[in-house]
Amino acid sequence: MPLKILIANRGEIALRILRAAHELNMETVAVYSMADQDALHVKLADEAYCIGENFSKDSYLNMENIISAAVLSEANLIHPGYGFLSENPLFRRLLRACSIGFIGPSEETMEAMGDKARAKELAKNAGVPVVPGSDGEVNSYEEAIPVAREIGYPILVKASSGGGGKGIRIVEKEEDLKGAFSGAKNEAKANFGEDGVYLEKYLRNPRHIEFQILRDQHGNTVHLGERDCSLQRRKQKVLEESPSPSLSQSLREKMGASAVALAEASDYLGAGTIEFLLDDHGNYYFMEMNTRIQVEHPVTEMVTGVDLIKEQIRIAMGEKLSFDKEDIRFQGHAIECRINAEDPLNGFAPSPGNIDFLHFPSGKDIRVDSGCYTGSKILPYYDAMVAKIIVHGRNREEAILKMRSALYELTIQGIKTNQLYQEEILSHDSFLSGAYHTLTLDQLRG
């Protein structure tokens, strides 16, 4: 009897997991909110269970209903995808208590790496470079003053938990510290339920480089190269590529070794991402670890040929990696563009609604990950991603031309998207030269 996997997510990542599971001869269980009853992952799964009303808190974040669906369907494993409950230690702990497997690391690793201050300390102990900052959380404004002076302005006040650019304040001078400290704590409390913050040196115009790692239960740890995720709008990734145009081979090897060292030090299990900041002098610093699959994982798959979702599943089942470190071959260049339902001409306001017509590009080395189709809806309750367009070329120049062609063919009617915005990025001098950083898009356009 085939194993059965419940996919605790929606949209393109739910479909991505579903297809990988079917290719591994596993039965699939979809869960869905009432708003998602016509979603593709619901239609294509072997079984499907409604887990609540439209909003995430009533459905995709409802642990009790998801676990009930797993018990009812007799699922052996749960894949959380990304977002929602993917990095929730309590959910992981409850699944263990119910004897349901989880595709991801232990709750102890989640807790350690989810707390930015603890993760930074773990990185330091593993010999991984970290951005100069406070030793753990700073509890008061009065305590922050001497710490900030020692670090040297400009600094960042950052929430210890959470992400997505929330709970972060840039402080250029000491007279701004009090307001920034209070603001970061309040935003952290409102978004993550905890108000812990720490201080860190602010790096001007850094690049955001992340390394994909895999580690199995048998002690095998590998990295699968880097992704350059520096093209961000208001701290949200827009376009990613691999390999990074800013890394020399020697620097790539150093950063990859640091990623492996931290994965081993944290006793990591599964697929994870070590994120670094890289300054314009070639110095890199650990930023955080994401203990889940990433939205941008396809670019790594395109340049290595490794199916990350299948490896995740195999690792969770106790198997070894399906390849050895020596088998990894990095070939060509890959780019991913995130196509979102938003209006760039109106402050990137969300653009939910009906998709009246949808045509995706196709051809050699063009991949589209999407849960949308003609007649489907972009719902106001969730992330507004329509699709990820991913291309692979023999080199960066070929990949850029292929992505331009793919975006030219992409046709979406009925909603506004950032398609033309992505085309503008691909033609801009800063992108073509590879000389971009995390603030490039904010400086080009609001």
For the annotated catalytic residues, the residue numbers are: 292
Burial of 22: CB neighbours in 10 Å, binned 0-12, 13-18, 19+ = middle
Alpha helices (runs of H) in 45-86, residue ranges in sequence order:
63-73
N-terminal to C-terminal alpha carbon distance within the chain: 54
In DSSP notation, 316-349 reads: HTTPPPSS-GGG----SEEEEEEEESEEGGGTTE
Which of 353, 380, 290 lies closest to 86, judged by CA?
290
For residue 245, with 0-12 CB atoms within 10 Å meaning exposed, 13-18 middle and 19 or more buried, which class applies?
Answer: middle
List Cα–Cα distances, 62 to 15, 112, 115, 191, 203, in angstroms. Answer: 20, 23, 23, 17, 38
Residue type, 176: D
Q: Tell which residue, 332, 323, 163, has the closest CA to residue 242.
A: 332
The helix/strand count (H/E) of the chain reads as 15, 22
Q: How far apart are CA 30 and CA 98, in angstroms?
A: 19
Q: In what order do the strands lie in the sheet with 168-171?
A: 168-171, 155-159, 197-201
Q: Which DSSP string corresponds to 88-124? A: -HHHHHHHHHTT-EESS--HHHHHHHHSHHHHHHHHH
Q: Are 64 and 42 in contact (CB under 8 A)?
A: no
Question: Hey, what are 9's tokens?
Answer: 């997510």
d(CA 100, CA 3): 12
From start to end of 155-310, where are the E strands?
Answer: 155-159, 168-171, 197-201, 207-215, 221-233, 236-242, 270-278, 284-290
Q: Token match 């009906």: residue?
A: 354
